[in-house]
């Protein structure tokens, strides 16, 4: 496989979507072929699943069902978007991937890790990111940013099903992400996301430069 697969992870409002756009611009300005994509989503099927998962639909979704919905979106996204782009030698920047399912559904919801990891491996055809940038900050700060963003949207476009969970759920997710970073320090680089957009952007650029230059 010729390209590089780089994922952006972190709790709600940690700045993934803001920083992935800036990182895409940074790499494009250096003349590198970049694809920016996101989960759930990135394909027509993924976009439909995203609506089910993130908008309040007035119906329950169990933790197990949630794992399979994310996995279905990921399988389509991996097949239709990520693998073809990597095979074409592109740098794929992806807003969330398998680590999010481990952090949210295993650490956050308390589902057993091994089956969740196995479903993620199956859905992604064993694809593991070459680099994962983990945006870390206290969950209260991230949720405050996320709710400010949500309040600015039309009510039918509010993707707030996860934001509305209890603080403890979000704290377990943060700790889960940090545990994954301790398990795989070579792949995950933790970036302090509590500062402003600009210092975080500089830190992301230096992580990307070190990774791509080395
Ligand atoms: N470093 C920062 N300081 C202050 N505000 C920020 C910072 N980074 C992003 N924001 C703002 O906080 C909000 C959430 O940021 P963003 O959407 O990038 O986070 P996210 O990690 O993608 O969130 P989600 O998990 O909900 O998709 C946005 O309105 C964004 O403009
Ligand atoms: Mg986002």
Q: Indicate whether residue 41 lines ligand 1 (CB < 6 A).
A: no
Kindly state the tokens that stand for 7: 């994922």
CA nearest ligand 1 atom 7, residue: 197
Kindly state the tokens that stand for 112: 């057993």
> Which ligand has an atom closest to residue 149 CA?
1
pLDDT (0 to 100) of residue 1 = 66
Whether 14 and 95 have beta carbons less than 8 Å apart is answered as: no
Which ligand 1 atom is the nearest neighbour of the CA of 163?
26
**What percentage of the chain has pLDDT greater than the value 90?**
88
Which ligand 1 atom is the nearest neighbour of the CA of 159?
26
- How many domains does the chain fold into? 1
pLDDT (0 to 100) of residue 157 = 77
CA nearest ligand 1 atom 31, residue: 18
Pocket test for ligand 1, best of 145, 174, 177, 199 (most atoms within 8 A of CB): 145
> Which ligand has an atom closest to residue 199 CA?
1
pLDDT (0 to 100) of residue 55 = 86
Q: Indicate whether residue 170 lines ligand 1 (CB < 6 A).
A: no
**Residue indicated by tokens 């089910």:** 52
Tell me the mean pLDDT per 10 residues along the chain, length 214.
94 97 98 97 95 87 97 98 98 98 98 98 98 97 93 83 93 98 98 97 98 86
pLDDT (0 to 100) of residue 30 = 95
* Strand-pair category, 188-192 with 131-136: parallel
CA nearest ligand 1 atom 8, residue: 15
CATH number, domain of 124, equals 3.40.50.300
pLDDT (0 to 100) of residue 58 = 79
Q: Indicate whether residue 16 lines ligand 1 (CB < 6 A).
A: yes
Kindly state the tokens that stand for 202: 């500089």
Residues ≥6 apart with Cβ < 8 Å to 185: none
| Residue range of the domain that includes 136 | 4-213
CA–centroid distance, 125 to ligand 1, in Å, is 30
pLDDT tens digits, one per residue of 59-78: 899 999 999 999 999 999 99
pLDDT (0 to 100) of residue 214 = 62
What is the rounded distance in angstroms from the CA atom of residue 119 to the CA atom of residue 174? 21
Which ligand 1 atom is the nearest neighbour of the CA of 135?
21
Which ligand 1 atom is the nearest neighbour of the CA of 8?
21
Cα–Cα distances (Å) from 154 to 78, 80, 137, 158, in that order, read 30, 30, 27, 7
């Amino acid at each position: 496989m010729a390209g590089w697969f780089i994922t952006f992870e972190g709790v709600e409002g940690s700045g993934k979507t803001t920083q992935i756009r800036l990182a895409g611009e940074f790499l494009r300005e250096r003349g590198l072929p970049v694809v920016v994509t996101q989960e759930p989503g990135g394909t027509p099927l993924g976009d439909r699943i995203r609506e089910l998962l993130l908008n309040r639909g007035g119906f329950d979704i169990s933790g197990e069902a949630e794992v399979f919905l994310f996995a279905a979106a990921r399988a389509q996204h991996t097949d239709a978007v990520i693998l073809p782009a990597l095979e074409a030698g592109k740098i794929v920047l992806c807003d969330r991937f398998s680590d999010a399912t481990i952090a949210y559904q295993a650490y956050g919801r308390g589902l057993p890790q091994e089956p969740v990891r196995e479903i993620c491996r199956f859905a992604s055809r064993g694809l593991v990111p070459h680099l994962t940038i983990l945006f870390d900050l206290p969950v209260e700060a991230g949720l405050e940013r996320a709710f400010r963003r949500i309040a600015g949207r039309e009510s039918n476009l509010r993707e707030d099903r996860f934001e509305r969970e209890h603080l403890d759920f979000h704290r377990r997710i943060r700790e889960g992400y940090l545990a994954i970073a301790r398990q795989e320090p070579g792949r995950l680089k933790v970036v302090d996301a509590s500062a402003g957009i600009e210092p975080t952007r500089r830190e992301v650029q230096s992580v990307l430069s070190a990774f791509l230059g080395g």
